[in-house]
Amino acid sequence: MNFDNLNRWLTLVANLGVLAGIVFLSLEIDQSNRIAEREARGELLNIVTDINRSSWENPEIAELMVKLRNFDPELTANEEYRAISFAMLQINQAIRLNATYEEGFLPEEILARYLMGSRNFISGLPGLAPFLREAISQLGFTEVAFGDNGVGALKNLGEEVVRIERMGSEAR
């Protein structure tokens, strides 16, 4: 009888130990997810910061950004190359944004803020729209960005390009 009671108590303690281990493991997983989410947001923010920094550190890029504020900027060959490179950077950022969201490291409300910020940034540079369209086409993302079934950040980018192009044709 004593041996039976001891066995029950040991089983209870073992089960409580397993339960405590499961609780501890779930807390560790939650903490790891929050760290990964924070790092993903930090990486995206660093990209935006680098773009802003390059504008004020490099007068040539700052001049290009000023020219891209016009619908039909007159650009040198060097500036056109930089504009297409900048457009590709925007597309790569959209792809990274989508991947980060789809992997679960970026909450939907943060994604919405980034998309809104991206649209606002690009709408301030209407001269970038043709370069974005060209880069999207070169990378083979035309259907994803401009198609009826477009998705995510690239669709957001495509919609903004179309809106800017429409505004530009109305202004002419």
- In-domain check, residue 125: yes
Q: What is the pLDDT of residue 150?
A: 62
In total, how many domains does the chain have? Answer: 1
Count other Cβ atoms within 10 Å, centred on residue 34: 11
Token pair listed for 150 = 């477009």
- In-domain check, residue 9: no
- In-domain check, residue 28: no
One digit per residue, pLDDT tens: the chain, 172 residues? 587 888 888 888 888 889 888 988 888 888 887 787 778 777 777 777 777 777 778 888 889 999 999 988 999 999 999 999 989 888 888 888 888 888 888 888 888 888 888 888 888 999 999 999 898 888 888 877 777 766 678 888 888 888 888 888 777 6
The string of pLDDT tens digits covering residues 117-129 is 888 888 899 999 9
pTM comes to 0.72
- In-domain check, residue 142: yes
Q: How far apart are CA 37 and CA 44, in angstroms?
A: 11
Q: How far apart are CA 7 and CA 10, in angstroms?
A: 5
Query: Which residue range is the domain that position 130 belongs to?
Result: 36-171
